[in-house]
């Protein structure tokens, strides 16, 4: 089992791993988890026992003898799409279907890790602002841990997701506006009632759960890497978590020494593309997007707290960023579903639409081996 502490992603201030933490107290940027193993050992790429994301518990924040709060998250399938690759004119294409997680999105992975730590540290009440899926996932993991959950979500959140939040026993408060507005309400409520704030990157362990997507895809591809990963980006935790663990796996010797890490590509919608704008402006942080709007509700995050970390991952990986129209998202949600049999969410459709645009412009070459993420389920949008 690992031991860990927290390190600020910007100013490198450290904090202990065995106390509740939020953002860095000196600069306000997110903490990242740093691990150490007894006797300076490296974790081994073997002995994975469970068929959920905790098969990688040796490199996750789980204490010796502790059981995780788990609902079978992770171990989602990757399907290869040869006909789609031919049509696009690239070497290989795959889709990883995160819609098959508990409560139908990869948010389950982050909440499983975060609720496990919070329970161990004695939290009795959770609060979270959400574009939808994070609220549904926290409702589920809070229920599994026996801890009360309050969710602040935009009133415009797809109704099946709101219904899931209520069905799992969470208190749901609808907010006029977007996730940033929900965040203000949520932080005020947390301060007033002493609830623990599970907001994206204000809590250091959600990202550790999400990094398991990166370990898993490597294991599924025989410990090789795709050349490009296209990730529908809202708060950016999935992308940041995967980029973090690719570096960790290289350090641990889990990847071939000469491995070429994937180029990380941000996919966003024309109606809310703060990361695309910041990347192409050469900025090191993003400015909030005015009047964010897209039917791919997981991408409606106008001012992500992880902006610096997202941009760093794009630059370090030699990646790219692209936004596409609502019509392109609709067309490619259907195209992804019919090419794969995966019940694609609009966020997954956005990833395919971005791939199509980048191939057309020569920003993804003909020999590319591209992994698309379908981050949610189409079922969450049928109402």
Contact residue for ligand PLP among 45, 55, 96, 107 (CB under 6 A): 107
- Please give the radius of gyration of the chain, using alpha carbons only, rounded to the nearest integer: 19
Q: How far is the CB of 41 from ligand PLP (least distance, A)?
A: 31
C-alpha–C-alpha distance, residues 15 and 20, integer Å: 10
Selection from 178, 173, 219, 200 nearest residue 51 by Cα: 219
Note whether 74 binds ligand PLP by CB under 6 A: no
Cβ 375 vs Cβ 348: under 8 Å: yes
Applying CB under 6 A, among 105, 112, 186, 199 the residue interacting with ligand PLP is 105
Q: Judged by CB under 6 A, which of 347, 358, 364, 381 binds ligand PLP?
A: 347
Residue 53: strand, helix, or coil: helix
Number of residues interacting with ligand PLP: please give it, by CB under 6 A: 17
Q: How many CA atoms lie within 13 A of 159 on its CB side?
A: 2
CA 146, chain centre distance (Å): 24
When asked if residue 232 is in the footprint of ligand PLP (CB under 6 A), the reply is yes
Query: Measured from the CB of residue 229, what is the shortest distance to ligand PLP in angstroms?
Result: 12
> Would you call 136 helix, strand, or coil by DSSP?
helix
Closer residue to ligand PLP, CB minimum distance, 45 or 178: 178
Q: Does 235 bind ligand PLP (CB under 6 A)?
A: yes
CA distances from 290 to 180, 280, 293 (A): 11, 18, 9
Q: Find the binding residues for ligand PLP in span 286-345 (CB under 6 A).
A: 298-299, 345
Residue 233 as a binder of ligand PLP (CB under 6 A): the answer is yes
Task: Examine residue 156 and tell whether it contacts ligand PLP (CB under 6 A).
Answer: no
Distance CA 216, CA 238 (A): 13
* Contact status: 157 vs ligand PLP (CB under 6 A): no
Residues interacting with ligand PLP, by CB under 6 A? 105, 107, 133, 200, 232-238, 298-299, 345, 347, 375-376
């Amino acid at each position: 089992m690992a031991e860990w502490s927290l390190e600020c992603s910007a100013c490198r201030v450290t904090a202990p791993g065995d106390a509740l933490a939020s953002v860095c107290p000196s600069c306000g940027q997110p903490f990242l988890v740093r691990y150490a193993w007894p006797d300076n050992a490296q974790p081994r790429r073997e002995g994975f026992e469970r068929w959920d994301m905790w098969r990688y518990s040796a490199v996750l924040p789980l204490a010796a003898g502790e059981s995780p709060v788990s609902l079978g998250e992770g171990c989602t399938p990757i399907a290869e799409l040869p006909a789609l690759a031919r049509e696009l004119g690239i070497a290989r294409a795959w889709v990883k279907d995160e819609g098959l997680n508990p409560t139908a999105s990869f948010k389950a992975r982050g909440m499983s890790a975060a609720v496990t730590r919070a329970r161990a540290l004695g939290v009795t009440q959770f609060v979270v602002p959400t574009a939808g899926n994070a609220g549904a996932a926290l409702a589920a993991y809070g229920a599994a841990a026996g801890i009360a959950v309050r969710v602040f979500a935009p009133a415009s959140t797809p109704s099946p997701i709101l219904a899931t939040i209520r069905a799992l026993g969470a208190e749901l408060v609808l907010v006029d506006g977007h996730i940033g507005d929900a965040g203000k309400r949520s932080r005020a409520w947390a301060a007033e009632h002493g609830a623990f704030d599970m907001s994206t990157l204000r809590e250091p362990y959600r990202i550790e759960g999400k990094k398991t997507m990166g370990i898993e895809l490597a294991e599924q591809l025989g410990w090789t890497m795709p050349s490009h990963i296209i990730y529908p980006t809202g708060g950016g935790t999935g992308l940041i978590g995967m980029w973090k663990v690719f570096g960790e796996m290289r350090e641990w010797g889990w990847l071939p020494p000469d491995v070429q890490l994937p180029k990380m590509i941000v996919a966003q919608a024309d109606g809310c593309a703060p990361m695309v704008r910041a990347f192409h402006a050469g900025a090191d942080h993003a400015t909030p997007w005015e009047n964010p709007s897209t039917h791919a509700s997981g991408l409606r995050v106008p001012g992500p707290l992880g902006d610096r970390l997202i941009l760093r991952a794009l630059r370090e990986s030699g990646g790219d960023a692209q936004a596409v129209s609502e019509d392109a998202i609709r067309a490619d949600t259907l195209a992804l579903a019919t090419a794969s049999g995966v019940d694609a969410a609009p966020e997954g459709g956005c990833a395919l639409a971005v791939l199509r645009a980048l191939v057309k412009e020569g920003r993804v070459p003909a020999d590319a081996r591209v992994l698309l993420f379908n981050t949610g389920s189409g079922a969450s949008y049928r109402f």
